[in-house]
Structure 1
């Protein structure tokens, strides 16, 4: 498993896609589990730009919440999976389920992924996330919970990953 993390627009998605192309058999396709929703016109354009850049080898599975089940289904057809992006996915959980149940649901999903990953380590799993804890302390409890929970999730995924790459200014720095 590979984890790509970094700030917004740091190049982590492009690096993850390049890694997927490198490890993918040329006869196979790559599952791209996209967690983003087109919430406004600007974000819709951003999604379309990402899709155009990826090309036909990437098969998109759009899933804002239940990434563990989609991942399991994608492995039936693909040897390489990208999950893009844990920060967006966690934001969806907060939006859809509310902060009262977000933590339990998110950690349950991570446990499902962990339990599914162990028997599938011959597959290539590439996960993209954001580092949100390097800025100011959020002013409200819900945003602090989001920041803290993403840090916990990132740590758990990093512990499972064989490689962790931090994207800084478009440069990938391997930290594990």
Structure 2
């Protein structure tokens, strides 16, 4: 019996061993922007109501083998906004509300995980269900002192040299932060 168990262990080990040390082919970083446990619980309860079930119906991602939760705040407020929250997720450092990809003074740019991947020769894409120049997706490619600098954020799409961008639109494709008319971002 022990020989069979040892043989099975070695057989599995030999098949698993080649995968150690290999880099992941794809990495998807999914962000439920503004989503907390209350929103997840409400969705599960709603699913049960729609399907006439007595108990909440778990969402697929809540059944993953590894799930993490974090409670955070920005450097300027107990409740973070999408600029500071997105920057924390993209960079791993806190900033104040309203800042995109920079320190709290809005003068020192941070390098996001997306730029780190690009520097390692990886393909990088930013895909969002909101406008591509919105605070959360922008935190991965832009560096602006104010999250409302939509035109300036949009211009950084080109300078990022990332491989793909997808979103609903630009918020202000022809107007700068100081309300001046500017060349459209669409031909870029």
Which structure is larger by alpha-carbon Rg, 1 or 2? 2
TM score, norm. by length of structure 1: 0.33
Relative to its length, the structure with more helix (as a share) is: 1
TM score, norm. by length of structure 2: 0.32
**Larger relative contact order (CA 8 Å, sep ≥ 6):** 1
